[in-house]
Amino acid sequence: MQFIGGGSQQNYVERTRGLDPSRCLAAGIDVGKYEALCLVADHHGEIVGEPLTFPLTEPGVRALEALFASAATARDAVRVRVGVETAGHYHRTVVARLVAAGHDVVELNPAHVKAARTQQGSRRLKTDLRDAAAIVDLVIRGSGRAPQQRTDALVEQLVWVGVRRRRVLARTALSNQLLGTLDLIFPGLDGCFDDLLGSKVGPVLLHDLADPGRLHRLGVAGLQAFTARRGVRLQRRKAEQLHQAAADALRLPAAERSCRAMVLAADLAVLDLLNNQIDQAEKHLAAVLPDTPAGVLTSLPGVGVVRASNYGAALGDPARFANADRAYRASGLVPASYESAGRTRPGQGISREGNAELRTAIIELGRGLAQRDPDFARYRASVGARMKPLMAAIAVGHRAHRLAFALMRSGEPYDPARLVESVATNGERRTMKAGRPVKKNSREAACRHDVTHPPVTTVPRSSPARKTLTRT
């Protein structure tokens, strides 16, 4: 039995099959920043009671639960399902509160809600009430997914990954501004380094020698002695290059240069604070990673605490996905498609319908493996020869994702020999050992060419157990 909406729709339809539609209620909640609107209707689409606008507070949720209770009493309801549109982070508290109270709650993608409202003829007529009606329509169809349940360790991992990501973005923006200020104070200094802020001597120069006049007066030997007193060894060749850059630097008027130097010092203080917060976040991630399914990923070459934590936080509990393909589909990296009248339009790129953090984590996972693992390096070279760089990175990420997903599901560390064997046999090792054909659409068939999937238990049947056909 197959359903258009997949397994989630199948689960809901099977639970409501044969029930009176007027006794099955669907509630749609459109969430805002401070308040939300709820609309309740039965599976015929008939509205039950009046729409409720309630604040996102404990008293507001109690009023919402009173609405559910009165609607259920009025219809003698046997089932009430609540659909909540995901709205950034604003929906999280009310969803957690309803789930803790034992309500049947599903989350709905805002894009799906917009499409449902369009189908109702209200594409350009957006109101909270129309959005709630669209949510109810989706809930009646069986759309939506249950809120993801995470263990305490997974919650901690998710929080610190988010903290680190935001601090890294802030550091990148601040670094660009800082280097722009430096170009006005000391033109040419940044050009002496491939990565000024990432070098050992860079912070010393920025904090103490951002004035080209002062650096030039120190001379080559004096500059080397200056950095040595601060624990950084500076090669003479680099010191000569810096000395020449200071001699050639154009200088702003003294008043403006002094003002911009104060701005540079303030930016450096904020940059140091961000670096410290990033280090603290990474320490928290390192401590919690072994308690999460992603802890096994550090056995992969080129995958450290940050890459493993980013992937694990974006994926969550791997058990919520049937297989690696379902998890990959949730990232939005699957190829987009457009087909009409039997004709397919090529070159559609990726769908981008999924978790953006998971997309980034998969690509980074592939990049790390391709840098350290010989097999992945060869694979990257082969796909890079026939694909554009972005598509090659996605292909390598897809392969890395399948391997990482398998490790997280099995909990076993990475075994290079097993991967080499699987690649050499084209994934046929498991089914060939069984000595029997593979059923169509079975789990074995799905894994047959998946060289990284955990082994499938296969036991060959004995002769007496096999069914035989007799002709009469």
Question: pLDDT (tens digit, 9 = 90+) per residue, 402-418?
Answer: 999 999 999 999 988 88
454 or 145: which leads in pLDDT: 145
Residue 426 confidence (pLDDT): 64
Between β-strands 52-55 and 35-42, what pairing exists: parallel, antiparallel or unpaired? Answer: antiparallel
266 or 427: which leads in pLDDT: 266
Of 56-60, 122-126, 196-200, 261-265, the one with minimum mean pLDDT is 122-126
User: What tokens does 363 get?
Assistant: 């690509």
469 or 371: which leads in pLDDT: 371
Average pLDDT of the residues in 113-121: 92
> Taking the chain, what is the end-to-end CA distance rounded to the nearest angstrom?
34
Instruction: Tell me the backbone φ, ψ of residue 76, rounded to 5 degrees.
Output: 50, 50
Q: Please report which confidence band the pLDDT of residue 366 belongs to, taking 50, 70 and 90 as the band edges.
A: very high
Neighbours of 349 (CB within 10 A): 10
Mean residue pLDDT of the chain comes to 88
Q: Domain 155-287, what fold?
A: Helix Hairpins (1.10.287)
Residue 56 confidence (pLDDT): 95
Q: Please report which confidence band the pLDDT of residue 469 belongs to, taking 50, 70 and 90 as the band edges.
A: very low
**What H or E segment, with its residue span, contains residue 27?**
strand 24-31
Q: Residue 451: is its pLDDT beyond 60? A: no
Helices (H), 330-373: 356-372
- If we measure between CA atoms, which residue out of 409, 411, 406, 160 comes closest to residue 287? 160
Residue 4 confidence (pLDDT): 80
Residue 85 confidence (pLDDT): 94
**Domain spans of the chain, in order of start:** 6-141, 155-287, 293-414
Average pLDDT of the residues in 360-373: 95
Residue 192 confidence (pLDDT): 94
Average pLDDT of the residues in 246-265: 93
Residues in the chain: 472
- If we measure between CA atoms, which residue out of 458, 429, 192, 157 comes closest to residue 313? 157
Residue 15 confidence (pLDDT): 87
Question: pLDDT (tens digit, 9 = 90+) per residue, 298-315?
Answer: 999 999 999 999 999 999
Q: Residue 460: is its pLDDT beyond 50? A: no
Between CA 168 and CA 152 the distance in angstroms is 24
Q: Give yes or no for a contact between 139 and 28, defined as CB atoms under 8 angstroms apart.
A: yes
Q: Residue 274: is its pLDDT beyond 90? A: yes
Average pLDDT of the residues in 75-87: 94
| Environment class of 379 (CB within 10 Å of its CB; exposed 0-12, middle 13-18, buried 19+) | buried
User: What tokens does 354 get?
Assistant: 């999924």
Q: Please report which confidence band the pLDDT of residue 124 belongs to, taking 50, 70 and 90 as the band edges.
A: confident
- If we measure between CA atoms, which residue out of 103, 79, 93, 67 comes closest to residue 22? 79
Between CA 227 and CA 176 the distance in angstroms is 25
Q: Give yes or no for a contact between 89 and 111, defined as CB atoms under 8 angstroms apart.
A: no
6-141 belongs to which CATH class?
alpha beta
The b-or-e profile of 421-451 (16+ CB within 10 A means b, else e) is ebeeeebeebbeeeeeebeeeeebebbbebb
Q: Residue 431: is its pLDDT beyond 60? A: no
User: Global pTM?
Assistant: 0.83
Question: pLDDT (tens digit, 9 = 90+) per residue, 20-43?
Answer: 999 999 999 999 999 999 999 999
